Amino acid sequence: MSPRDIAFAVCLFASGCASANAPTPVTASLSACAVGDAMVETQLFFGLSKPSGGTVGPREWEAFVAREIAPRLPEGFTVLDGAGFWRDAATAKTISEKSKVVVRLRPPGAEADATLDAIAAAYKKAFAQDSVLRIDRPVCARF
C-alpha cells in the first residue's frame, strides 16, 4: 500500500471523506463544549525521505517552515518529530522514515482548509513527495 493509499484509508477511518456539498464529519460533529471552544485540530504529516535518496535536512525543514508555514499560520502551530512506518507495495517490506507533524488548532472553515492544503501542496512540490497525510478532528480547546 502506498503512502497515498494509507492517507486515503486513514481519511476514511478517522474522519470520513464527504462530498463538497455535504457538511464534513468534522464540522457536523462540532457541538457545544463543556470546557473551552469547539475547534478543529488538524495534523499534517510530512515524510522526510526524498524519493531520489537522502532526506529533508534540518536546514531545509526550517527554511520550509519559515517560507511556507509560519506566514500562513501566524496565530501559531506546533511541530513535532515523528517516526512513520508504511508497507512498500513493490517490495512488501515495512519502510520507516522520520517525519515532522504540524498540529494546528483552528475554527472550522473553507479558508483554513485551503491554507492547510496549500502548505501540503508546497511541501509535495518542494521535496517531490507523493503525499502529505492530513487528519482533521473536532476538539474542545481552551487557551
In this predicted model, what pLDDT tens digit does every residue of 41-65 receive, in sequence order? 999 999 999 999 999 999 999 999 9
Convert the pLDDT of each residue in 64-95 to its tens digit: 999 999 999 999 999 999 999 989 899 999 99
Q: Which domain holds residue 61?
A: 3-17+48-141
Helix (H, G, I), strand (E, B) or coil at 64: helix
**CA 74 – CA 96 distance, rounded (Å):** 32
Residue 103 lies in a domain: yes
User: Which cell goes with 139?
Assistant: 476538539
pLDDT at res. 94: 96
Tell me what the pLDDT averaged over the chain comes to: 84
Strand 37-47 and strand 133-141: the pairing is antiparallel
Report residue 53 CA to chain centroid gap. 23
User: Cα-flanking dihedrals φ and ψ of residue 112, to 5°?
Assistant: -65, -40
> Could you report how far apart the first and last alpha carbons of the chain are, in Å?
39
Q: Of the candidates 140, 123, 115, 137, which has an alpha carbon nearest to the alpha carbon of residue 56?
A: 123
Question: Domain count of the chain?
Answer: 1
CA distances from 81 to 61, 77, 87 (A): 12, 14, 20
Residue 10 lies in a domain: yes
Q: Are 36 and 87 in contact (CB under 8 A)?
A: no
